[in-house]
Amino acid sequence: MAEYVHKLRAIAWVSEQGEDAVEGCFALNPHAQFHNGPETLLERLNSPDRVIPFQRREDDGVLLLNRLEMEWVLPSPNMPPELICPQTYQVTREERVRIRLKGGETMTGLLRMELPEWFNRASDFLNSPEHFFPLITERGIVLVNKLCVLSTRLYEASPEPVSDL
């Protein structure tokens, strides 16, 4: 018989294209796969799982959400930062941006990027394999799905490369 693993509750709002945002919670593993401490919401959203259970607050119903169809996830303002992004996430560059999503919504915020030394542009970051990225907005940290971003407006010119290849 499989052992039951008690999960951590991550309260958040979820937006899917064409739908009103819904409040509820995700279940996070108390032990992350690649670092000490609990799994974070960003790691859960970037997992290989196709569907992720989400317990709706309004009726306690459980939705199995297709993670690639979620436009964004807004964690509760009370959620500890160590449950949103891994502490191992090393911000190497920040850029002010405005993004436009498939559903028509726009968001303005600070794109905090974790990039290797030989990459330094927002386009490099947005072309990386992870689907969700953190955007710091006036509402808090919003985890945005790259597949739902139609365009990204940069406010500063990209810097020169850090090093030659």
1 vs 141, more confident: 141
Per DSSP (E only), the strands in 17-104 are 22-28, 51-56, 62-66, 70-75, 93-101
The pLDDT, as a whole number, for residue 65 is 95
Q: What is the mean pLDDT of residues 115-139?
A: 84
The pLDDT, as a whole number, for residue 164 is 44
The pLDDT, as a whole number, for residue 163 is 46
Asked whether the domain spanning 93-154 has the same topology as the one spanning 8-83, the reply is yes
| Mean residue pLDDT across the chain | 87
Q: Where are the domains of the chain?
A: 8-83, 93-154
- Give the whole-angstrom CA distance, residue 50 versus residue 126: 20
CATH topology (fold) of 93-154:
SH3 type barrels. (2.30.30)
2 vs 86, more confident: 86
- Give the whole-angstrom CA distance, residue 12 versus residue 77: 9
The pLDDT, as a whole number, for residue 160 is 56
Residue 63 and residue 53 in contact, taking contact as beta carbons nearer than 8 Å: yes
Read off the pLDDT of residues 47-90 as tens digits, 9 standing for 90 and up: 999 999 999 988 878 999 999 999 999 999 999 988 998 887 77
What band does 102 get if pLDDT is binned at 50, 70 and 90?
very high
| pLDDT tops 80 at residue 117 | no
Residue 82 and residue 40 in contact, taking contact as beta carbons nearer than 8 Å: yes
- Architecture of the domain spanning 8-83: Roll (2.30)
